[in-house]
Amino acid sequence: MTTYGSFPGTRPRRLRTTPAMRRMVAETRLHPADFILPAFVREGVSEPVPIEAMPGVVQHTRDSLKKAAAEAVAAGVSGIMLFGVPEESKKDALGTPGTDPDGILQVALRDVRAEVGDELLVMSDLCLDETVDHGHCGVLDSEGRVDNDATLERYAEMAQVQADAGAHVVGPSGMMDGQIGVVRDALDQIGREDVAILAYTAKYASAFYGPFREAVGSSLKGDRKTYQQDPANARESLRELALDLEEGADMVMVKPAGPYLDILARVADAVDVPVAAYQISGEYSMVEAAAEKGWIDRDRAILETLTGIKRAGARNILTYWATEAAQKLGR
């Protein structure tokens, strides 16, 4: 046999010979505590409503949401991120359901806290898009543009009512300039220094949000390119990161996850706070659709995508497979 350099003495395949060997030398390990479950709760429905574009995901009733939260606890999942879907007739230009103590998100926060207490981190999406009649993440000015500073006033109110309703963590997701500082001040003003902020630090204007629009009953016309980040830009994320940390973010996040693993890795390398990534609706739906057609092995694909996200630097992953993946890992 011809010898090439260190071969045949050095054979990396020795460390791939059996499942036990591969498990022992694995550099990245998934754990149920890595996961956060995004969940939708819809006002005025008596049964969970399937989301056509996201097979297996539903808009919950209040009761089915409590059951989902309990299942997440049993599986070892760390958190649940709640999105409220109000009745269409209640939406308006200011997103009034988002600051109404009896709005669906606030009601759901109280329900879940009553169900699971502190066994699960109860998180709330802090954004106006689900509650406004125009579908944008903020208040519009007279020319139909998103008014950054007027929106911040609404975010401050939302933070306070969400904290009062029981959120352990709020997630400002609208990509308004200054949103983390305003939310932190609003929480501190009511003595809620204990409520943490998960900053949507690098949230890109992605095509992969498509199925989410159905999930939250979005009324959006146009796009969000004036406030969400341009997919072409990377250094911009580090600027957003520095601002969020300066303003008081406790945790930071990259969204979407899969198409932006390079951004995730750069953010994770740059900070000493927990870093999360959101495996969004389009990422989920692509795997489910391909698996339904028999083109890929569904279970392997799920765990492979989650492993890739963690390998890139995410300490926590928001994924619609959170409970299912945690159960698989537990087995």
Q: Rounded CA gap, 69 and 163, in Å?
A: 18
**Cα(217)–Cα(85) distance, integer angstroms:** 7
**CA–CA gap between residue 304 and residue 147 (Å, rounded):** 40
d(CA 3, CA 50) in angstroms, rounded, equals 60
User: How large is the angle between the packed helices 104-116 and 148-165, nearest 10 degrees?
Assistant: 30
What tens-digit pLDDT sequence spans the chain (331 residues)? 666 778 888 899 999 999 999 999 999 999 999 999 999 999 999 999 999 999 999 999 999 999 999 999 999 999 999 999 999 889 999 999 999 999 999 999 999 999 999 999 999 999 988 888 887 888 999 888 999 999 999 999 999 999 999 999 999 999 999 999 999 999 999 999 999 999 999 999 999 988 877 776 676 676 787 889 999 999 999 999 999 999 999 999 999 999 999 999 999 999 999 999 999 999 999 999 999 999 999 999 999 999 999 999 999 999 999 999 999 998 7
SS3 of 148-200: HHHHHHHHHHHHHHHHHHCCCEEEECCCCCCHHHHHHHHHHHCCCCCCEEEEE
Residue-level pLDDT at 220: 65
What is the per-residue pLDDT for 171? 97
The pair phi, psi for residue 59, each rounded to 5°, is -85, 115
203 labelled catalytic: yes
Q: What angle do CA 305, 308, 311 make, to 5 degrees?
A: 150
CA dist 28 to 22, 31, 48, 114, 287, Å? 11, 10, 36, 35, 22
pTM confidence score: 0.94
Q: What is the pLDDT of residue 3?
A: 67
Q: Please confirm, yes or no, whether 66 is among the known catalytic residues.
A: no
Hunting for tokens 């220094």 — which residue is that? 193
- Cβ-contact 5, 49 below 8 angstroms: no
Q: Residue 89: its pLDDT value, please?
A: 87
Largest CA distance in the chain: 79
Contacts for 201 with CB less than 8 Å, ≥ 6 apart: 237, 240, 241, 244, 249, 252, 253, 254, 267
Residues 137, 174 contacting (CB under 8 angstroms): yes
Write down the catalytic residue from 66, 90, 221, 255: 255
Strand, coil or helix: 92: strand
Which residue out of 66, 67, 91, 203 is catalytically annotated?
203
Q: Where does 174-292 have alpha helices with state H?
A: 179-189, 210-215, 235-247, 261-270, 281-292
pLDDT of residue 27: 97
* Omega cis (within 30) before 12: no
